Structure 1
Amino acid sequence: MPKKKFFTAAALTVPFALMLTGCNVTELTQDNYDKSASKSASTSEQGVAEGLLPNWVPAGGTEVKLEQRTTGSERLMVMNYSGALPTEQCTPLSSTGAPTAKELSAAYATDQRSRGWEVSDVATSPTLEADWWPQDAHQATTQLCGRWWVHQDGGKLYAFAPDLLSVTTQIEKQRENA
Protein backbone atom coordinates (compact mmCIF):
# COMPACT_ATOMS: atom_id res chain seq x y z
CA MET A 1 0.00 0.00 0.00
CA PRO A 2 2.73 2.60 0.73
CA LYS A 3 3.92 2.36 -2.89
CA LYS A 4 0.45 3.25 -4.20
CA LYS A 5 0.23 6.30 -1.93
CA PHE A 6 3.71 7.47 -3.00
CA PHE A 7 2.87 7.06 -6.68
CA THR A 8 -0.44 8.91 -6.27
CA ALA A 9 1.25 11.73 -4.37
CA ALA A 10 3.98 12.03 -7.02
CA ALA A 11 1.45 11.94 -9.84
CA LEU A 12 -0.39 14.87 -8.29
CA THR A 13 2.63 16.82 -7.09
CA VAL A 14 4.64 17.02 -10.34
CA PRO A 15 1.93 18.66 -12.50
CA PHE A 16 1.04 21.01 -9.64
CA ALA A 17 4.69 22.03 -9.22
CA LEU A 18 4.99 22.68 -12.98
CA MET A 19 1.88 24.83 -12.85
CA LEU A 20 3.32 26.91 -10.03
CA THR A 21 6.60 27.49 -11.86
CA GLY A 22 4.82 28.60 -15.03
CA CYS A 23 6.36 25.78 -17.08
CA ASN A 24 4.45 24.63 -20.09
CA VAL A 25 4.43 20.84 -20.12
CA THR A 26 4.34 20.73 -23.92
CA GLU A 27 7.54 22.82 -24.04
CA LEU A 28 9.27 20.14 -22.00
CA THR A 29 8.49 17.51 -24.63
CA GLN A 30 9.43 19.58 -27.71
CA ASP A 31 12.89 20.05 -29.18
CA ASN A 32 14.19 23.60 -28.95
CA TYR A 33 16.36 24.31 -31.98
CA ASP A 34 16.71 28.05 -31.36
CA LYS A 35 19.68 27.91 -29.00
CA SER A 36 23.05 29.55 -29.47
CA ALA A 37 26.19 30.50 -27.60
CA SER A 38 28.59 33.41 -27.93
CA LYS A 39 32.32 32.68 -27.98
CA SER A 40 35.41 34.79 -28.50
CA ALA A 41 39.17 34.65 -28.86
CA SER A 42 41.83 37.32 -28.68
CA THR A 43 43.44 36.13 -31.90
CA SER A 44 42.55 33.93 -34.84
CA GLU A 45 45.48 31.69 -33.96
CA GLN A 46 43.98 31.11 -30.51
CA GLY A 47 40.55 30.44 -32.03
CA VAL A 48 41.92 27.84 -34.46
CA ALA A 49 44.08 26.18 -31.78
CA GLU A 50 41.10 25.88 -29.42
CA GLY A 51 38.87 24.43 -32.16
CA LEU A 52 36.61 27.47 -32.08
CA LEU A 53 37.45 28.40 -35.69
CA PRO A 54 38.02 26.28 -38.80
CA ASN A 55 41.56 25.75 -40.10
CA TRP A 56 41.08 28.04 -43.11
CA VAL A 57 40.88 31.12 -40.86
CA PRO A 58 44.11 33.06 -41.49
CA ALA A 59 46.61 34.01 -38.81
CA GLY A 60 46.77 37.66 -37.85
CA GLY A 61 43.12 38.20 -36.94
CA THR A 62 42.21 39.87 -33.65
CA GLU A 63 39.09 40.37 -31.53
CA VAL A 64 37.39 37.23 -32.83
CA LYS A 65 33.66 36.91 -32.10
CA LEU A 66 31.57 33.87 -32.86
CA GLU A 67 27.89 33.14 -32.44
CA GLN A 68 27.16 29.46 -32.84
CA ARG A 69 24.00 27.42 -32.99
CA THR A 70 24.31 24.79 -30.27
CA THR A 71 21.67 22.61 -31.92
CA GLY A 72 23.08 22.67 -35.44
CA SER A 73 25.87 23.80 -37.74
CA GLU A 74 25.14 27.50 -38.17
CA ARG A 75 27.83 30.02 -37.20
CA LEU A 76 28.46 33.76 -37.51
CA MET A 77 32.01 35.04 -37.14
CA VAL A 78 33.75 38.38 -37.29
CA MET A 79 37.32 39.42 -36.60
CA ASN A 80 39.61 42.33 -37.28
CA TYR A 81 41.58 41.31 -40.35
CA SER A 82 42.53 43.02 -43.59
CA GLY A 83 44.93 40.51 -45.14
CA ALA A 84 44.38 37.98 -47.89
CA LEU A 85 42.38 34.79 -47.55
CA PRO A 86 44.12 31.45 -48.12
CA THR A 87 43.71 30.67 -51.83
CA GLU A 88 44.12 26.93 -51.29
CA GLN A 89 41.05 26.82 -48.99
CA CYS A 90 38.91 29.73 -50.20
CA THR A 91 37.37 30.10 -53.64
CA PRO A 92 36.18 33.42 -55.12
CA LEU A 93 32.55 33.53 -56.24
CA SER A 94 31.60 34.34 -59.80
CA SER A 95 28.94 36.74 -58.47
CA THR A 96 29.03 38.59 -55.13
CA GLY A 97 26.48 37.30 -52.64
CA ALA A 98 25.07 34.69 -55.01
CA PRO A 99 27.04 31.46 -55.03
CA THR A 100 25.90 29.02 -57.68
CA ALA A 101 24.83 25.48 -56.85
CA LYS A 102 28.05 24.27 -58.48
CA GLU A 103 30.19 26.62 -56.33
CA LEU A 104 28.33 25.60 -53.16
CA SER A 105 28.58 21.89 -53.94
CA ALA A 106 32.33 22.12 -54.57
CA ALA A 107 32.92 24.17 -51.40
CA TYR A 108 30.72 21.99 -49.15
CA ALA A 109 32.58 18.90 -50.38
CA THR A 110 35.85 20.30 -48.97
CA ASP A 111 34.47 20.81 -45.45
CA GLN A 112 34.36 17.81 -43.13
CA ARG A 113 31.12 19.00 -41.50
CA SER A 114 29.21 19.64 -44.75
CA ARG A 115 30.70 16.90 -46.90
CA GLY A 116 27.78 14.93 -48.31
CA TRP A 117 25.24 17.72 -47.91
CA GLU A 118 22.95 18.30 -50.86
CA VAL A 119 22.99 22.00 -51.77
CA SER A 120 19.18 22.00 -51.94
CA ASP A 121 19.06 20.89 -48.27
CA VAL A 122 21.15 23.83 -46.98
CA ALA A 123 19.92 27.28 -45.91
CA THR A 124 21.27 30.30 -47.76
CA SER A 125 20.75 32.90 -45.05
CA PRO A 126 21.40 33.00 -41.31
CA THR A 127 18.86 32.57 -38.55
CA LEU A 128 21.41 33.55 -35.91
CA GLU A 129 21.71 37.17 -34.85
CA ALA A 130 24.43 39.17 -33.15
CA ASP A 131 24.71 42.91 -32.54
CA TRP A 132 28.04 42.91 -34.40
CA TRP A 133 26.68 41.04 -37.45
CA PRO A 134 25.49 43.37 -40.24
CA GLN A 135 22.02 42.65 -41.55
CA ASP A 136 22.14 40.74 -44.85
CA ALA A 137 25.93 40.37 -44.60
CA HIS A 138 25.68 36.99 -46.35
CA GLN A 139 24.63 38.90 -49.48
CA ALA A 140 28.11 40.46 -49.58
CA THR A 141 29.85 37.06 -49.77
CA THR A 142 32.82 37.11 -52.11
CA GLN A 143 34.41 33.76 -51.29
CA LEU A 144 33.51 30.30 -50.05
CA CYS A 145 35.91 28.73 -47.56
CA GLY A 146 34.57 25.22 -47.14
CA ARG A 147 30.99 25.66 -45.89
CA TRP A 148 31.67 29.27 -44.81
CA TRP A 149 30.35 32.24 -46.81
CA VAL A 150 33.04 34.93 -46.40
CA HIS A 151 33.60 38.60 -47.18
CA GLN A 152 35.80 41.42 -45.95
CA ASP A 153 34.75 44.98 -45.28
CA GLY A 154 36.32 47.88 -43.42
CA GLY A 155 39.20 45.87 -41.96
CA LYS A 156 36.94 43.06 -40.78
CA LEU A 157 36.46 39.53 -41.99
CA TYR A 158 32.86 38.27 -41.80
CA ALA A 159 31.93 34.62 -42.19
CA PHE A 160 28.63 32.72 -42.08
CA ALA A 161 28.32 28.94 -41.95
CA PRO A 162 24.79 27.79 -42.84
CA ASP A 163 22.65 25.10 -41.31
CA LEU A 164 20.45 22.48 -42.87
CA LEU A 165 16.97 23.62 -43.90
CA SER A 166 15.48 20.95 -41.63
CA VAL A 167 16.94 22.86 -38.65
CA THR A 168 16.23 26.40 -39.86
CA THR A 169 12.63 25.48 -40.67
CA GLN A 170 12.15 24.28 -37.08
CA ILE A 171 13.70 27.50 -35.76
CA GLU A 172 11.36 29.64 -37.87
CA LYS A 173 8.33 27.62 -36.67
CA GLN A 174 9.40 28.03 -33.04
CA ARG A 175 9.78 31.78 -33.48
CA GLU A 176 6.34 32.04 -35.10
CA ASN A 177 4.76 30.14 -32.19
CA ALA A 178 6.60 32.08 -29.48
Structure 2
Amino acid sequence: MNLIGKRTVRVGAAVAGVAVASTLAGCGLSEAVTEKANGHVKAVDYRTGTEGKADKDVQLPGWVPDQAQSVSEAIRTTGSERILRYTAAGTKLPGTCLPSAAPKTAPTLTADWWPNGQETKTTTICDAVWHISTDGTTVYAYKPETIDQRGAN
Protein backbone atom coordinates (compact mmCIF):
# COMPACT_ATOMS: atom_id res chain seq x y z
CA MET A 1 0.00 0.00 0.00
CA ASN A 2 1.39 3.42 -0.87
CA LEU A 3 1.65 6.42 1.46
CA ILE A 4 -1.62 8.00 0.24
CA GLY A 5 -3.47 4.71 0.71
CA LYS A 6 -2.17 4.35 4.28
CA ARG A 7 -3.23 7.92 5.11
CA THR A 8 -6.70 7.31 3.69
CA VAL A 9 -7.07 4.18 5.80
CA ARG A 10 -5.85 6.02 8.93
CA VAL A 11 -8.15 9.00 8.31
CA GLY A 12 -11.06 6.67 7.60
CA ALA A 13 -10.37 4.71 10.77
CA ALA A 14 -10.09 7.93 12.78
CA VAL A 15 -13.39 9.24 11.39
CA ALA A 16 -15.08 5.92 12.14
CA GLY A 17 -13.60 5.94 15.64
CA VAL A 18 -14.89 9.46 16.28
CA ALA A 19 -18.34 8.48 14.98
CA VAL A 20 -18.46 5.42 17.25
CA ALA A 21 -17.16 7.41 20.23
CA SER A 22 -19.72 10.15 19.61
CA THR A 23 -22.51 7.61 19.39
CA LEU A 24 -21.41 5.87 22.57
CA ALA A 25 -20.85 9.16 24.37
CA GLY A 26 -24.31 10.25 23.29
CA CYS A 27 -25.78 7.08 24.79
CA GLY A 28 -23.77 7.54 27.94
CA LEU A 29 -24.81 11.16 28.20
CA SER A 30 -28.44 10.25 27.77
CA GLU A 31 -28.18 7.59 30.46
CA ALA A 32 -26.32 9.94 32.80
CA VAL A 33 -28.93 12.65 32.35
CA THR A 34 -31.76 10.18 32.82
CA GLU A 35 -30.05 8.64 35.83
CA LYS A 36 -29.34 12.04 37.35
CA ALA A 37 -32.92 13.18 36.77
CA ASN A 38 -34.10 9.88 38.21
CA GLY A 39 -31.89 10.45 41.24
CA HIS A 40 -30.89 6.80 41.60
CA VAL A 41 -34.20 5.50 42.89
CA LYS A 42 -35.10 1.95 43.84
CA ALA A 43 -38.78 1.07 44.18
CA VAL A 44 -39.96 -1.95 46.15
CA ASP A 45 -43.33 -3.49 46.96
CA TYR A 46 -44.17 -6.10 49.60
CA ARG A 47 -47.35 -7.91 50.59
CA THR A 48 -46.62 -7.45 54.30
CA GLY A 49 -44.33 -5.63 56.69
CA THR A 50 -42.75 -8.95 57.64
CA GLU A 51 -41.83 -9.61 54.00
CA GLY A 52 -40.27 -6.14 53.68
CA LYS A 53 -38.27 -6.50 56.87
CA ALA A 54 -36.86 -9.81 55.60
CA ASP A 55 -35.42 -8.11 52.47
CA LYS A 56 -31.83 -7.51 53.58
CA ASP A 57 -31.14 -5.25 50.55
CA VAL A 58 -33.77 -2.72 51.58
CA GLN A 59 -35.17 -3.64 54.99
CA LEU A 60 -38.18 -1.66 56.07
CA PRO A 61 -37.84 0.42 59.22
CA GLY A 62 -38.58 -1.42 62.46
CA TRP A 63 -41.59 0.76 63.31
CA VAL A 64 -43.54 -0.58 60.29
CA PRO A 65 -45.92 -3.20 61.73
CA ASP A 66 -45.29 -6.78 60.64
CA GLN A 67 -48.99 -7.02 59.73
CA ALA A 68 -48.84 -3.94 57.46
CA GLN A 69 -50.22 -4.78 54.01
CA SER A 70 -49.52 -3.56 50.47
CA VAL A 71 -46.23 -1.90 51.40
CA SER A 72 -44.60 0.32 48.76
CA GLU A 73 -41.36 2.26 49.14
CA ALA A 74 -39.19 4.50 46.97
CA ILE A 75 -35.58 4.76 48.11
CA ARG A 76 -32.82 7.13 47.00
CA THR A 77 -29.85 4.81 46.56
CA THR A 78 -27.31 7.66 46.71
CA GLY A 79 -28.66 9.14 49.92
CA SER A 80 -31.07 8.68 52.78
CA GLU A 81 -34.38 9.98 51.40
CA ARG A 82 -37.29 7.52 51.35
CA ILE A 83 -41.04 7.64 50.91
CA LEU A 84 -43.22 4.77 52.06
CA ARG A 85 -46.87 3.78 52.04
CA TYR A 86 -48.76 0.86 53.53
CA THR A 87 -52.24 -0.23 54.59
CA ALA A 88 -52.49 -0.35 58.37
CA ALA A 89 -54.79 -3.41 58.54
CA GLY A 90 -55.80 -2.63 62.12
CA THR A 91 -52.23 -2.02 63.27
CA LYS A 92 -50.96 0.98 65.20
CA LEU A 93 -47.63 2.79 65.29
CA PRO A 94 -45.38 1.83 68.20
CA GLY A 95 -45.37 3.95 71.36
CA THR A 96 -41.90 5.23 70.48
CA CYS A 97 -43.42 7.32 67.67
CA LEU A 98 -44.17 10.84 68.91
CA PRO A 99 -46.28 13.83 67.86
CA SER A 100 -44.36 16.12 65.52
CA ALA A 101 -44.65 19.00 63.10
CA ALA A 102 -44.28 18.48 59.36
CA PRO A 103 -40.73 18.40 57.95
CA LYS A 104 -39.21 21.60 56.59
CA THR A 105 -38.22 20.01 53.27
CA ALA A 106 -40.42 18.42 50.65
CA PRO A 107 -39.49 15.07 49.14
CA THR A 108 -37.71 15.02 45.81
CA LEU A 109 -38.78 11.41 45.32
CA THR A 110 -42.06 10.79 43.55
CA ALA A 111 -44.29 7.78 43.07
CA ASP A 112 -47.75 7.36 41.61
CA TRP A 113 -48.97 6.30 45.06
CA TRP A 114 -47.51 9.37 46.88
CA PRO A 115 -50.00 12.26 46.93
CA ASN A 116 -48.48 15.65 46.14
CA GLY A 117 -47.91 17.54 49.40
CA GLN A 118 -48.52 14.49 51.61
CA GLU A 119 -45.48 15.35 53.74
CA THR A 120 -47.21 18.58 54.90
CA LYS A 121 -49.86 16.45 56.61
CA THR A 122 -47.49 14.59 58.92
CA THR A 123 -48.37 14.59 62.60
CA THR A 124 -46.03 11.95 63.99
CA ILE A 125 -42.32 11.14 63.87
CA CYS A 126 -40.79 7.66 64.28
CA ASP A 127 -37.11 6.83 64.82
CA ALA A 128 -36.43 10.61 64.95
CA VAL A 129 -36.38 10.82 61.12
CA TRP A 130 -39.58 9.31 59.68
CA HIS A 131 -42.46 11.79 59.30
CA ILE A 132 -45.78 9.92 59.38
CA SER A 133 -49.30 10.81 58.27
CA THR A 134 -52.44 8.74 57.85
CA ASP A 135 -55.38 8.93 55.50
CA GLY A 136 -58.00 6.43 56.62
CA THR A 137 -56.21 3.07 56.79
CA THR A 138 -53.32 4.24 54.59
CA VAL A 139 -50.10 5.27 56.33
CA TYR A 140 -47.61 7.53 54.55
CA ALA A 141 -44.05 8.10 55.74
CA TYR A 142 -41.27 10.39 54.54
CA LYS A 143 -37.62 10.33 55.55
CA PRO A 144 -35.92 13.56 54.38
CA GLU A 145 -32.57 13.56 52.61
CA THR A 146 -29.57 14.15 54.88
CA ILE A 147 -26.79 13.67 52.30
CA ASP A 148 -25.81 16.43 49.86
CA GLN A 149 -27.01 15.25 46.43
CA ARG A 150 -25.23 17.89 44.32
CA GLY A 151 -23.19 16.03 41.77
CA ALA A 152 -24.54 12.60 42.75
CA ASN A 153 -25.01 10.67 39.54
Smaller-chain TM-score bracket: 0.7 to 0.9
The whole-number CA distance in structure 2 between the counterparts of 1:13 and 1:91 is 64
Aligned counterparts, 1:63-102, within 5 A: 63-81=70-88, 82-88=90-96, 90-93=97-100, 95=101, 97=102
SS at match of 2:36: coil
- Would the alpha carbon gap of residues 17 and 130 (structure 1) be closer, same or farther in structure 2, given more than 3 Å must change? same
Query: 1:50 is matched with which residue: 43, 50, 55?
Result: 55
- Would the alpha carbon gap of residues 62 and 19 (structure 1) be closer, same or farther in structure 2, given more than 3 Å must change? same
Which residue is 2:125 aligned to?
A: 144
The whole-number CA distance in structure 2 between the counterparts of 1:12 and 1:155 is 63
Query: 1:39 is matched with which residue: 12, 23, 44?
Result: 44
The whole-number CA distance in structure 2 between the counterparts of 1:18 and 1:155 is 54
Cα distance, 1:129 vs. partner?
0.5
Instruction: Please list every run of 5 or more consecutive structure 2 residues that lacks an aligned counterpart in the other structure.
Output: 1-12
Query: TM-score, normalized by length of structure 2?
Result: 0.73
CA displacement 1:64-87 (0-9 Å, x = unmatched): 111111221111110111532001
The whole-number CA distance in structure 2 between the counterparts of 1:47 and 1:41 is 6
- Provide the aligned C-alpha RMSD in A: 3.3
- Would the alpha carbon gap of residues 15 and 125 (structure 1) be closer, same or farther in structure 2, given more than 3 Å must change? farther
- Would the alpha carbon gap of residues 13 and 54 (structure 1) be closer, same or farther in structure 2, given more than 3 Å must change? farther
Which residue is 2:140 aligned to?
A: 158
- Of the two, which has the highest radius of gyration? 2
Query: TM-score, normalized by length of structure 1?
Result: 0.64
The whole-number CA distance in structure 1 between the counterparts of 2:142 and 2:49 is 16
Query: 2:22 is matched with which residue: 19, 23, 28?
Result: 19
Number of matched pairs: 138
* C-alpha contact (below 8 Å) 1:18/1:25 kept by paired residues: no
SS at match of 2:148: helix
The AA in structure 2 aligned to 1:47 is: G
The AA in structure 2 aligned to 1:86 is: P
Which residue is 2:4 aligned to?
A: none
